[in-house]
Amino acid sequence: MNKSGHKTKTAAPYEGFAAIYDQIMAGVDYEGWADYVESLLERHGFKPGSVLDLACGTGSSTLPFAARGYQAGGVDLSEAMLRAARDKAAAAGLTADFFRGDLRSLKLPGRYDLALLFQDGLNYLLSEKELSLAFSGVFDLLHPGGFFIFDLTRPSLRNQSGELSIYWADEKEYTLIWESRFDKAAETWELSLTVFIKEKEGLYRKIQEQHRERDYAPETVKELLNRAGFTPLGIYPTFRLHPAGSSEPKLTLVARRETQ
């Protein structure tokens, strides 16, 4: 406990955040995400029966697929997030398998028709080597001919000034302070997150997390996909179905695992 009477804890990314993650993300249209994925699949003539949601968090992006009849699974690095995901699946009466795993060393007991990776999950990999390891792992988790759909954030297009950006939210159950900047030299977006979560007797638990995201050019990502055995099929501005230009800060990529 610090001098102000707050309990302070430095957490691994999203471990402490898990307690309020769903409250902060309440405005995200996860059903809309699932609709968009199905639109992309229809556009490319692919009908999967099973879906693996990578970096699934608390399962909000996984469970819409389970509810639509897919065999659904989710993977996340944070055990706290996975506990929340399992609880939500049980409460909704839905069947989904959730596994703890690292994108750089993916190993699961089965294979899937479709792998998804959204909410900047790919950008958390900070080198091309890590990206290649993730693509190879996804390749091994897909059936031959399976699809991989993921988003790619371009921090350099979202914030080019390099100046510190500060956002805060003061809610009934928590207070959040979000400080971020884009480091042009390192090509990384850096985020410092401080959360005060209300507990009993007027005390607040303080949690601090550090996040970094790497900026990757789509051409680099396509080259690494090819090396891993994927064929890139399309790049779209997220939530759109027309081809991407050169200035969109958020992209969605569709790739197919080749049959070898």
From the CB of residue 90, how many other CB atoms can be counted at a distance below 10 Å? Answer: 11
What is residue 158's predicted lDDT score, i.e. its pLDDT? 72
Is 150:253 a contact under the CB 8 Å cutoff? yes
pLDDT of residue 12: 54
d(CA 174, CA 205): 9
CA atoms of 228 and 257, how far apart (whole Å): 9
The β-bridge partners of 180 are 165, 191
pLDDT digits (tens, 9 = 90+) for 2-17: 433 444 444 455 666 6
Using CA atoms of 199, 205, 210, 215 in order, give the dihedral in degrees to the nearest 10.
Answer: 20
Given a cut of 70, the residues of the chain with pLDDT beneath it are 1-17, 159-161, 260
Burial (CB count <10 Å: 0-12, 13-18, 19+), residue 30 = middle
Report the C-alpha gap between 110 and 2 in whole angstroms.
Answer: 47
pLDDT at position 8: 43
Say whether 76 sits in a helix, a strand or coil.
Answer: strand
pLDDT, position 147: 98
Is residue 138 a contact partner of residue 54, using CB atoms and an 8 Å limit? Answer: yes
Q: How much is the CA Rg of the chain, to the nearest whole Å? A: 19
Q: Tell me the CATH number of domain 22-156+216-257, given options 3.40.50.1860, 3.40.50.1780, 3.40.50.150, 3.40.190.10.
A: 3.40.50.150
Sign of dihedral through CA atoms 231, 238, 216, 82?
A: negative
**Residue 185: what pLDDT?**
85
pLDDT value at position 184?
85
Please state, in angstroms and rounded to a whole number, the distance separating the CA atoms of residues 196 and 177. Answer: 9
- Which H, E and C letters describe 149-198, residue by residue? EEEEECHHHHCCCCCCEEEEEECCCEEEEEEEEEECCCCEEEEEEEEEEE
170-223: pLDDT as tens digits: 888 888 898 988 888 888 889 898 888 888 877 888 888 888 999 999 999 999
Give the integer Cα–Cα distance in Å for 254 and 244. 12
Question: Two tokens at 72?
Answer: 């659904």
Domain borders along the chain are: 22-156+216-257, 160-214
Give all strands of the β-sheet with 112-117 in edge-to-edge order.
96-100, 71-76, 50-54, 112-117, 142-153, 250-257, 230-237
Residue that is written with structure tokens 């399309």 in the block: 234
Per CATH, the number for 160-214 is 2.20.25.110
Alpha-helix residue ranges (DSSP H) falling in 68-145: 79-92, 128-141
**Strand 112-117 relative to strand 142-153, pairing:** parallel
The pLDDT of residue 6: 42
Tokens (6 digits) for 43:
């556009």
